[in-house]
Amino acid sequence: MHQKWFKATEVESSSFNSKASFYIETIEVSRLSALAFFAAGESKYKGQRFFWQNREKTLTIVGLGHAYVLENNKGLNRFNHIEEEWKKLTKNIVKEEREAQPILFGGFTFDPENEHKGEWEGFPEAFFAVATFQLTIQHDKAYVSIHLITDQDNSASIFDSLRQERDYLIHAAQVRELKTYEKPLPTNYHELYKDEYLDSIQKVTGHIKSKEAEKVVIARSLSMEFDDMVTSPQILSHVIHEQPESYLFGLERENLLFFGASPERLVKVVHGQAYSSCVAGSIKRGKTAEEDHALGQILLNDAKNLGEHQYVVEMIVNTFAKNCLEYKVPKHPKLLKIRDIQHLFTPVEGKLSPNATILQLVKSLHPTPALGGVPRQEALAIIRQYEPMNRGLYAAPIGWIDAEGNGEFAVAIRSAALIDHKAYLYAGGGIVADSEPISEYEETLVKFRPMLRALGGEINE
């Protein structure tokens, strides 16, 4: 017999005329594959799903269906808006230690001021959802929660049908447990605006030399096309198997799937303790252990890469100094090695001041100089001038928060958007005064590899 916990609490929300309630029921289930649960929602919840796994693999969350959506419209401060609405929705929720908490999952786009639309046409500046069915796998235990937020009188009967649906989804996931997926077969591959990209690196170093900015991160995109239908579980299965050292995420909205495998934490908050990571400065992996070590040593001593890295450390440390009672940061970067690339890495940790919150930290930190530049506004203006695309959620904060103020956001790099039969892959790099177009171009090729591989593209290993 499963253990079960049910509760209902009153919510305040501008979306309802009368008093609404947040109904939650959580059951503990025996081991369940997160991907299989995601796949069980293929016919009914496609366009309303998410997948998240942290780097340490200690937390996996899957959401199917939307119990509540928080989107942002122009004119409101998107970080404050999401924070306030989530507070109203959860202010009466009482936390019980043993239970999986309802979470709000989503992201803030990189730059709402960008006027290119492209594949991100219609995507809101902030997009978050509470899932109708939430699978949480934590501390070797799996829980499935039902969330219903409604002001309807017949909530009891709606909830009963959700229970039946939950039991069906769990069963369907168990049946799919061992399913494997073919690699997609791309029929077309385009490097978009390659010449413009090379030219922009030259121009941006010019702006930096004339002191208009110190560092600017310039990105570009690739597109791939497929004859056959490519599904979200299919792609996520390859990302999950190929990138175990990264944050893994997938977020669907209507016919778009945004997915990726990022090595970079923006911020994590657990019981008032905040963690961030400075990840900037890159070199490829070696083919042998000796070559790999030698490349790592080159990176640790390379002035251009140390420069790129230092801008990020200074900015994140300043933000922690403003928001924390105390913080610590190591003096020198270490190496962070993932399948295709190695980075300079400096972790930052601090005890949050009583009034600091995770979303306020996201607001202050985004974009760090690993994704935007220094000074921030000048760098963003240069990015808008030179990038012929919209980054959407690429390089943006993606993650979750709970009702207690805990949560985690990754920086959505090594990522791509899939829309129907087409995928757009994104990669960029930090440009400083001594950056060279060809080596920056080559760095982006290495950064495209994780998503290119997952999508069945050709990679010379």
Residue ranges binding Mg ion (CB under 5 A): 282, 429-430
State the DSSP string of 273-310: EEEEEEEEEEEEPPSSHHHHHHHHHHHHT-HHHHHHHH
Cβ 394 to Mg ion shortest distance, Å: 16
Instruction: Report the alpha-carbon distance of residue 27 to residue 1 in Å, rounded.
Output: 10
287 is catalytic: no
Which option in Mg ion, ligand ISC, none does residue 107 bind, with CB closer than 5 to 8 A by kind?
none
Q: Which residue in 25, 264, 387, 440 is the catalytic one?
A: 264
**Conformation bin of residue 66: beta by default, left when phi > 0, alpha when psi is -120 to 50:** beta
Closest CB 260 distance from ligand ISC, rounded Å:
10
Q: Quick one: 124 or 281, whose CB is closer to ligand ISC?
A: 281
SS3 of 434-454:
CCCHHHHHHHHHHHHHHHHHH
Q: Catalytic site residue 351?
A: no
For ligand ISC, give the closer residue by CB, 233 or 450.
450
Q: Which of 215, 268, 363, 447 is catalytic?
A: 215
Least separation in angstroms between residue 413's CB and ligand ISC is: 4
d(C-alpha 453, C-alpha 448), whole Å: 9
Rg (CA), the chain: 22
Largest Cα–Cα separation, the chain: 70
By beta-carbon proximity to Mg ion, the closer residue of 35 and 379 is 379
φ/ψ of 325, rounded to 5, equals -75, -35
Give me the residues that bind ligand ISC (CB under 6 A), please: 217, 219, 264, 279-282, 308, 343, 370-371, 395, 413-414, 427-430, 447
d(C-alpha 9, C-alpha 101), whole Å: 14
- Say which entry of Mg ion, ligand ISC, none residue 428 contacts (CB below 5 to 8 A, set by partner kind): ligand ISC
Between residues 219 and 248, which has the closer beta carbon with respect to ligand ISC?
219
Q: Which does 248 bind (CB under 5 to 8 A by kind): ligand ISC, Mg ion, none?
A: none
Say which entry of Mg ion, ligand ISC, none residue 70 contacts (CB below 5 to 8 A, set by partner kind).
Answer: none
Pick between residue 85 and residue 308 the one whose CB is nearest to ligand ISC. 308
Give the three-class secondary structure for 207: helix
CA distance 449 to 461: 10
Least separation in angstroms between residue 387's CB and Mg ion is 16
Q: Active-site residue numbers?
A: 215, 264
